[in-house]
Amino acid sequence: MRGAYCAALVFPARIPYNRAMSEHTSPTSAAPLAPATQQADADILILGAGPAGMLCALTAARRAKAAKVRKEILLVDQDRTPARKLRASGGGRSNCTNLNAAPEHYLSKNPRFTAQALKRLPPAEFLRLLEGLGLSAHEEDQGKMFCDQGAEALALALEKACRKAGCRFLLGRPVTGVVPPAEPGGLFRVDTAHGPLYAPRVALALGSPAWPALGGTDVVARLAGQLGLIHVPARPALTPLVLSGPEAALCRELTGLSVSARLSLDAASACGGVSIADSLLFTHQGLSGPAALRLSSYWRKGEAISIDLAPEADMPALLRQPGRGKALARTILSELMPRRLVEARLAELPPQFKARSIGDRRLAELSRADLDALAGIVGSWRVIPRTTAGMARAEAASGGLDVEAFSAKTMQCKAIPGLFALGEALDVAGDLGGFNLHWAWASGFAAGHAL
Ligand SMILES: Cc1cc2nc3c(=O)[nH]c(=O)nc-3n(C[C@H](O)[C@H](O)[C@H](O)COP(=O)(O)OP(=O)(O)OC[C@H]3O[C@@H](n4cnc5c(N)ncnc54)[C@H](O)[C@@H]3O)c2cc1C
For residue 249, give the 3-state DSSP assignment.
helix
Ligand 1 contacts CB of residue 237 (under 6 A) = no
Which residues touch 91 (CB under 8 Å, ≥6 apart)?
Answer: none
Look at residue 317 in the predicted model and tell me its pLDDT.
Answer: 81
Residue 242 Cα to ligand 1 middle (Å): 24
For 313-346, write each residue's pLDDT tens digit: 888 788 877 788 888 888 989 988 999 999 999 9
Residue owning the nearest CA to atom 26 of ligand 1: 423
Residue owning the nearest CA to atom 35 of ligand 1: 48
Confidence of residue 366 (pLDDT cuts 50, 70, 90): confident
Residue 147 Cα to ligand 1 middle (Å): 17
Confidence of residue 29 (pLDDT cuts 50, 70, 90): very low
Strand order in the sheet with 195-199: 175-179, 188-192, 195-199
Average pLDDT (177-187) is: 92
How far is the C-alpha of 100 from the C-alpha of 276, rounded, in Å? Answer: 17
The closest of 313, 280, 300 to 379, measured between CA atoms, is 313
User: Which of 171, 206, 411, 422 has most ligand 1 atoms within 8 Å of its beta carbon, as the pocket-test mutant?
Assistant: 206
Residue 158 Cα to ligand 1 middle (Å): 14
The closest of 42, 44, 54, 97 to 79, measured between CA atoms, is 54
Q: What is the pTM of this model?
A: 0.91
For 264-289, write each residue's pLDDT tens digit: 998 878 777 899 999 999 999 999 99
Ligand 1 contacts CB of residue 181 (under 6 A) = no
Q: Which residues of 357-378 are buried (b: 16+ CB within 10 A; e: fewer)?
A: ebbebebeebeeebbebbbbbb
**For residues 43 and 73, is the Cβ–Cβ distance under 8 A?**
yes
User: Which of 85, 144, 422 has most ligand 1 atoms within 8 Å of its beta carbon, as the pocket-test mutant?
Assistant: 85
**For residues 286 and 251, is the Cβ–Cβ distance under 8 A?**
yes
Count CB neighbours of 382 within 10 A. 11
Average pLDDT (302-322) is: 87
Q: Which of 203-207, 280-284, 358-362 has the lowest mean pLDDT?
A: 358-362
Question: Which atom from ligand 1 is nearest to the alpha carbon of 438?
Answer: 11
The closest of 82, 80, 76, 66 to 44, measured between CA atoms, is 76
Look at residue 25 in the predicted model and tell me its pLDDT.
Answer: 37
For 243-256, write each residue's pLDDT tens digit: 999 899 999 999 99
Ligand 1 contacts CB of residue 239 (under 6 A) = no
Question: Which atom from ligand 1 is nearest to the alpha carbon of 206?
Answer: 34
Residue owning the nearest CA to atom 6 of ligand 1: 89
Ligand 1 contacts CB of residue 52 (under 6 A) = yes
Ligand 1 contacts CB of residue 53 (under 6 A) = yes
pLDDT(303) > 70:
yes
| Percent of the chain topping pLDDT 70 | 92
Ligand 1 contacts CB of residue 384 (under 6 A) = no
pLDDT(32) > 60:
no
Rounded to 5 degrees, what angle do the CA atoms 205, 395, 303 make? 125
Residue owning the nearest CA to atom 31 of ligand 1: 50
Look at residue 412 in the predicted model and tell me its pLDDT.
Answer: 98
For 52-104, write each residue's pLDDT tens digit: 999 999 999 999 999 999 999 999 999 999 999 999 999 999 999 999 999 99
Residue owning the nearest CA to atom 47 of ligand 1: 215
Query: Any idea how long the chain is?
Result: 451
Count CB neighbours of 19 within 10 A. 9
Ligand 1 contacts CB of residue 437 (under 6 A) = yes
For 382-412, write each residue's pLDDT tens digit: 999 999 999 999 999 999 999 999 999 999 9
Q: Can you list the positions of beta strands (E) in 283-430? A: 286-288, 305-308, 381-383, 387-388, 396-401, 419-421, 429-430
Q: Which residues of 394-415 are buried (b: 16+ CB within 10 A; e: fewer)?
A: bbbbbbbbbbebbbbebbbbee
Give me the domains of the chain, ranges plus CATH numbers. 7-237+393-450 (3.50.50.60), 241-388 (2.40.30.10)
| HSE-CB for 391 with a 13 A CA cutoff | 17
Confidence of residue 34 (pLDDT cuts 50, 70, 90): low
